[in-house]
Structure 1
C-alpha cells in the first residue's frame, strides 16, 4: 500500500484536515448571520459556471467584501444566498431559483448544482445577498447524449501567472462564441507577488505584503485565489462561458508528483500542503460536490459528453504519477525513465480512460490534460534530451494509452494540453521515432495566458525543434489561447495570440490555423 493511500485509509486524512483547519464532509457548525451585516459589495470575485450536463449546470460565487484580507471581511458565520437562473439576461423568464448557504468553513464559497433543465440551452444566472446583486453570468447546458450536433466550439487555456503580466487574452476570450472553456492547469502560481504586481508594475495600487511569499497554508492559497479571481479580465471570461477545469502543478507546488514534493520535504508534511491547496482549489472553482477533496485526495478526472459529436475525458496527471526520473528537468532518456512500471495517470485512471474510449459513441474523443503528450526532442542528434516532467518522461505509460486507443477501434483522438507557455500543433504518431509511422491523433497545445511574459512568434529554439520533431506542425511563443471547432467532417484549431501581456489592452490575432479530417488524422494548414 503506498504512503498516500495508507494515510487516507488509516484515518490520517482526518488528522491532516484538522491540522489545516479543513472540516470533514458535512461539517457546517457556524451560526447563521443576517445579510444586513454585509455593508460592502460581497461579489468582488465575480461569478462562474462549470461542468455542463444535459440537464444540469453548476453555478459558483464567493462572498468576499474585502478579498485581500484574511476572512474576506466577513464574520465566521454562514449567510443565505439567493440564486436565479433565467432564459434571458434581464431575468424576465426565470426557470429556476433557490437559496444556498455560504459557509465560513468553505470560505463563503457556494456551489449550486441546478438540475431538471432542458438540454442545449443558453441560460443566465445571478446571486443575491441582502441588498447586493452579483454580476450576471451566462452559461449553457450540454446537448443530450444522443444529439447529432453539427458543430461544437471550445477554447483551451492554461498558465496564468499573475506576476508575469495582464490577463488580456481573457478579455478577448469573453467575446468569443464558445460552448465551453477548458482550463488545463496552472490557474494560479504559488510564487510570491510583489506589492506592484510583478511585471504588471502597478502605480495606482499597492498589494498587501502577505502576497509577497510562497503559498503554503490554506489561508495562503485562499488569499492567492482572491488576488487572481479579482482580475477583471478573468472575471469577464468566467461570466461569459462555462469552464471545465483541471489542475497541474502550480496550484499546489512546482513539479510535484503524487506525494513527492519539489524540494526535500517529508511526504507527510507535503501532504498537509497538498490538502490545503486542493481544498482552496475546490472552493474557488466551478466544480461539483463529487470533486470536493477529502484531506489530500480529490478525484478530478471525469467525463463529459456533448451529444454524439464529442466525449471529453478530463485527466489528472499530477496526483497519481510516479516521481520524475533523473530529476524533473530535461534529461537524456534512460532505463529509469523507460521503466514499464512508471505511470503518469495511475492504473485506475488509465483503465477508466481506455474503457471510456472502448464504449464511446462520439465522433471526436477529446482528452483535456496538462503536459505535452507527443515526443518533444530538444535537438536532432542522438544525445537529445526530453522533459522528464512531460509524457516523454513516462514513455511506457504513453504507449499503453496509444495501444489502448488502437484497441478501442476509434478514429479521432484530440489531446488538449497546456503547461509549456507556447502554442504547439502535433501529430500523434504510433512510433514517434519513425516519421512514416501511422498518425493516431492530434495534439493541440495552448500557450499561456500570461506565464513567461510577452514571448515571441519564433522562440530561439524554433528551427531546432521543427527539425528535431517532424510531427510538430506549428510552434509559436506568444501568449494567448486556442479555439478548437469540432465538426462532423473535420476539427479546426485556431491559435490566438496577443502581442504583449506586460502592458494591458493588446489586440488579439490568429497566429495559425490547422484542420484535421475525421477518419484521417493529421494536421494540415487551414
Structure 2
C-alpha cells in the first residue's frame, strides 16, 4: 500500500511541475527575455490560515506601473477567488507585494500577474491549516551564485515540502575562496541600493531558484552576506567607516525587502511567528540586525581567554527580540516549537584548546545562548527544534542544558543545513569537531545541499540531502544521512 505522505507528496510534485515553466506571454505568442516584464519570476511566502504574500518585480520598467493579479483555487484559473490591481512603484524597484487574506485554511491556491497585456508564469502557494497532523519543511541556506548550480532546488520541488525555510545568505555580496567557479557575478561588490538591486535581480534569473519560488511558499530570514560578511549590528568588517556602513546596510536591507515575499510589518522587525495549525509554531529570528559586535575583534575569528565574552550588554538578539522569544515560548500551545535562525547554536569545542571558540556563531554570545535555553525549558515547550545554516556543513546536534560544561539533560535538538551551493566550511574548524564534541550526532563538511524535515505528532524525521557535484548542472541529489527526534524525547534517536 502506498504511504499517504508519499502519495500526497507525489501528487503535489506532479502538480508543481505542470505549472512551473512560463507559458506564452500573450495568446499565441512567445515570451522573450527582452519583452517579458516578469523575467524575474514570481514568489509567495509567510502563509497564514487565511492568506499569504505574493511577490513579483517588473523587469526593465520605468515610472510607476499598474500590475494586475489573480488568485484561483485551480491551476487553470476557472475559480478566481481574488483579483485586483496594484502599483509597482519605481521607488521600490517596481516590486509588488500583495498581502492576500480572507481565504479558507489548509488549501492550495494558484496565482499569476498581468502587465501590459502579458501574463506571468503561474505560481502555487497554500494557506496554513487550522489543525494539522503533518508538516514537511525544506531547510536551506548559503547559495553562492559563482560557486555552484542551484540544482538542489529540483530535488526540493520533487519532494513537495509545505514550506521552504531560507535562513540566510540568499545572495552573496562578494567572491571568495579558491576553486573553479561555474559562473561570475560580472560586477564589483554591491555598495549602493542600485548595486544590491542588481545582485538580487541576477539571482532571480536562475531557473532553478525561479522554479522553487513558483512552486513553494518561502519563509525567509537574512544572515550576513545579504549585506557584508560577518557584520554585526551597525558594525561592518570590510566597510569600517560607521557612516559608510550604515548607508550600505540600509541599501542592502531595502533591496532585500524589495525582493522577498514579506509582509510590510517585517520591514520594522524581521523576527516574527508563523503557525502551522495546532502542530508547530515557527519562531523566526534575526541574529544580525540587533547583535553587538563579536567579542575581541571584528568579524568571525577564533578567540580564547576573551574577557569581553561576558561583557554586560553583549547580545545576539537584542533585548526586545530576546523578550519576544521568551514570551512566545512561555505561551506555546503547539507540540513542536521550531526556532528558525541563522547559525550553529551548539557549543563547538575547537582543536585550538578547551577555551577556544569561534566568535561569529552562538559561541561568541554565551549569555544570549543561556537566555534562549532558559526560554526553551519553559514547561509549555514540549519539543524544541533549533534550525540553522551559515556554516556550510550538515549537523545534527543534541543541545544540553549546560553547553559550556557539556553536561545536564538534553533540552533541544539542532538541525543545521549545509550550503545549497557554495564551498564547504573550514576543515581546521570542523574536521575534528565530531571527536571533540560528543553532542554532535552527525557532521558532514564535504557536501552541499539542503535538509528535509517531516513532522507529525509522534516524531520529527530529518533527511540531509546532498548534491553530488555542484559544478554539474544535471547532478543528482541524494540522501546523505537521516535522523529522528521522538515526541517528548529531546535529542536524536540512536
Q: Give 1:416 deviation, angstroms.
A: 0.6
Which residue number in structure 1 is paired with residue 146 of structure 2?
163
Aligned partner of 2:95 in structure 1 is 109
Tell me the alpha carbon deviations over residues 317-351 of structure 1, each in whole angstroms, 9 at most, x when there is no partner. Answer: 00110100122212225321133531000010000
Partner of 1:25: none
Q: What is the distance in 2 between the residues matched to 1:368 and 1:310? A: 12
Secondary structure class of the residue paired with 1:290: helix
8 A contact 1:447–1:479 mirrored in 2 = yes
Q: For residue 8 of structure 2, what is the aligned residue in structure 1?
A: none
In structure 2, what is the Cα distance between the partners aligned to 1:353 and 1:333?
30
Structure 1 residues 390-411: Cα deviation after superposition (integer angstroms, max 9, x where no partner): 0000011100111222245422
Instruction: Check whether the contact 1:422–1:448 (CA below 8 A) recurs between aligned residues.
Output: yes
In 2, the alpha carbon distance for the partners of 1:174 and 1:460 equals 34
| 1:462–1:283 Cα change, 3 Å | closer
Alignment match, 1:59: 54
Higher mean alpha-carbon deviation, 331-340 vs 182-191, is at 331-340
- What's the counterpart of residue 4 of structure 1? none
Distance in 2 of aligned mates of 1:429 and 1:39: 56
1:74 is aligned, of 61, 69, 77, to 61
Answer whether contact 1:338 1:393 (CA < 8 A) is retained.
Answer: no
For these two proteins, the number of residue pairs brought into alignment is 457
Q: Which residue matches 1:301? A: 271
1:268 match: secondary structure:
helix
Which residue of 2 is the match for residue 8 of structure 1?
Answer: none
Using the alignment, how far apart are the partners of 1:405 and 1:461 within structure 2?
Answer: 28
2:147 and 2:183 in contact (8 A); partners too: no
CA contact (8 A) 1:192 1:212 kept: no
Counterpart pick for 1:199 among 148, 173, 181: 181
The unaligned stretches of length 5 or more in structure 1 are 1-37, 65-72, 293-297
Aligned residue for 1:221?
A: 196
C-alpha separation between the residues in 2 aligned to 1:415 and 1:423? 13
Partner of 1:368: 340
> 1: CA distance between counterparts of 2:251 and 2:441?
40
Taking the aligned partners of 1:282 and 1:435, their CA distance within structure 2 comes to 39
Pair 100,245 (structure 1): closer, same or farther in 2 beyond 3 Å: same
**Residue 359 (1) aligns with residue 331 (2):** yes
CA distance in 2, matches of 1:387, 1:463: 14
CA gap 1:179/1:270 in 2 versus in 1, 3 angstroms: same
Distance 2:183 2:199 in 1: 18
SS at match of 1:53: coil
Pair 1:320 & 2:290 matched: yes
SS at match of 1:199: coil
Aligned: 1:334 with 2:317: no
Selected match of 1:506 from 454, 475, 486: 475
Q: Give the equivalent residue in structure 2 for 1:153.
A: 136
Q: Deviation of residue 192 (structure 1)? A: 4.9
* Partner residue, 1:471: 439
Distance 1:233 1:264 in 2: 32
Are positions 1:138 and 2:124 aligned together? yes
Cα deviation digits, residues 165-209 of structure 1 (max 9, x gap)? 11111122122221100100000011159xxx971158xxxx7xx
- Aligned-residue offset at 1:131: 2.2
Q: Is the 8 A contact 1:357 1:408 kept in 2?
A: no
**Counterparts of 1:254 and 1:113, CA distance in 2:** 32
Aligned alpha-carbon RMSD (Å):
2.0
The 2-side partners of 1:341 and 1:281 are apart by 28
Deviations 1:232-276 (A, max 9, x none): 000011111100000000001111111111136222221111110
**TM-score normalised by length of structure 2:** 0.89
Q: Could you tell me how far apart the structure 2 residues matched to 1:259 and 1:434 are?
A: 32
2:334 pairs with 1:347: no
In the alignment, is residue 495 of structure 1 matched against residue 461 of structure 2? no
Report if the CA contact (8 A) 1:310-1:362 is conserved: yes
**For each residue in 1:474-520, what CA deviation from the matched residue of structure 2 results, as whole angstroms up to 9, or x when unmatched?**
11121100011111011111100001112211101010110111111
Match of 2:164 among 163, 181, 190: 181
Q: Which moved more, 1:489-498 or 1:169-178?
A: 169-178
Q: How does 1:403-422 map to 2 (within 5 A)?
A: 403-422=374-393
Distance 1:432 1:265 in 2: 33
Counterparts of 1:306 and 1:415, CA distance in 2: 16
Unaligned runs of 5+ in 2: 1-32
Evaluate the alpha carbon distance shift between residue 49 and residue 459 of structure 1 in structure 2; reply closer, same or farther with a 3 A threshold: same
Moved more, 259-268 or 166-175: 259-268
| Most deviating of 342-351 and 330-339 | 330-339
Rounded Cα–Cα distance in structure 1 between residues aligned with 2:200 and 2:290: 24
SS in 2 for 1:311: strand
Residue 165 of structure 2 contacts residue 219 of structure 2 at CA under 8 Å; is this kept in 1? yes
For residues 395 and 264 of structure 2, what CA distance do their matches in structure 1 show? 34
- Secondary structure of the corresponding residue to residue 234 of structure 2: coil
Q: Deviations over 1:141-185 (max 9, x none)?
A: 0112xx2x2110011100001011111111221222211001000
